[in-house]
Amino acid sequence: MIFCVTNQALCKVDFLQQLRSIARAKPDAIILREKMLSEEVYGQLAQQVLEICKANQVQLICNTFIRVAEQLAIPVQISFSSLSQTGTLSVPFGVSVHSLEEAIQAEQAGAVYLIAGHIFETSCKPNLPPRGLLFLREICQTVTIPVFGIGGIHVQNAASVLQTGAAGVCVMSDFMQADAPESLIQKLRQMD
């Protein structure tokens, strides 16, 4: 599976225009990860992106903003530190994890999937060493829910991520900067 993770600061063209192109290319999901926005502005953007996703039959996943996800009745991606809020969640949720212990706790708390990272060096986390493929493999072999790798994943290394037992990959930079998202999706799908 292929998840597109957004970061409008990386876009070379209008953000919604880029998302329309990406949605037409049919990733399995788009995670709207716009951390710099207020909840109100994020909610307005999420509504627009949801329309784009619905038109292309692509799953939209909110990031961080639980109330927005609940208002739109779509899944939400939360940080491990937000797990304490899951008792009241009315939508499915995934959790970002950075250790095996976090992965086990997130699964026990009811997460429907995990995003584990960062796997390779990435400009998003310039001073933090990557956790690598063995880290990802250990999580995939331990939990029973789908695990997705994130961090520095490109066409050139996506196959190695999938070989760990991961259910899929999360890609940010390549999608945000792709002139032809359809071509990127085709290349990533060949890794499956």
pTM over 0.85: yes
For residue 18, give both structure tokens: 């880029």
Q: Which of the four pLDDT bands, split at 50, 70 and 90, describes residue 122?
A: confident
What is residue 86's predicted lDDT score, i.e. its pLDDT? Answer: 75
Q: pLDDT-based confidence at 126, cuts 50/70/90?
A: confident
Q: How far is CA 56 from CA 23, 27, 35, 51, in A?
A: 6, 10, 24, 9
Closest to 145 measured CA to CA, from 112, 173, 168: 112
Which residue, 185, 147, 135, is CA-closest to 28?
Answer: 185
Determine the Cα–Cα distance for residues 110 and 93; give it in Å rounded to an integer: 8
Calculate what percentage of the chain has a pLDDT beyond 90: 92
Cα–Cα dist 137/170, whole Å: 16
Mean pLDDT of the chain, nearest integer: 95
pLDDT, tens only, 48-85: 999 999 999 999 999 999 999 999 999 999 999 999 87
Is residue 100 scored above 90 in pLDDT?
yes
Residue with tokens 């250790």: 99
| Structure confidence by residue, pLDDT tens digits, 128-147 | 899 999 999 999 999 999 99
Burial label, 104 (beta-carbon count in 10 A; 0-12, 13-18, 19+)? middle
What is the tens place of the pLDDT at every residue in 20-58? Answer: 999 999 999 999 999 999 999 999 999 999 999 999 999
Stretch 89-111: mean pLDDT, rounded?
96
For position 118, what pLDDT does the model report? 94
Output the pLDDT for position 148. 98
Scan for tokens 């502005």, then name that residue.
41
HEC states along 18-51?
HHHHHHHHCCCEEEECCCCCCHHHHHHHHHHHHH
Share of the chain above pLDDT 70, in %: 99
For residues 92 and 155, give the distance between their C-alpha atoms in angstroms, rounded to a whole number: 29
Q: What is the Cα–Cα distance from 22 to 52, expressed in whole angstroms?
A: 10
Residue 149's pLDDT is 98
Separation CA 56–CA 94 (nearest Å): 22
Q: Is the pLDDT of residue 87 over 80?
A: no
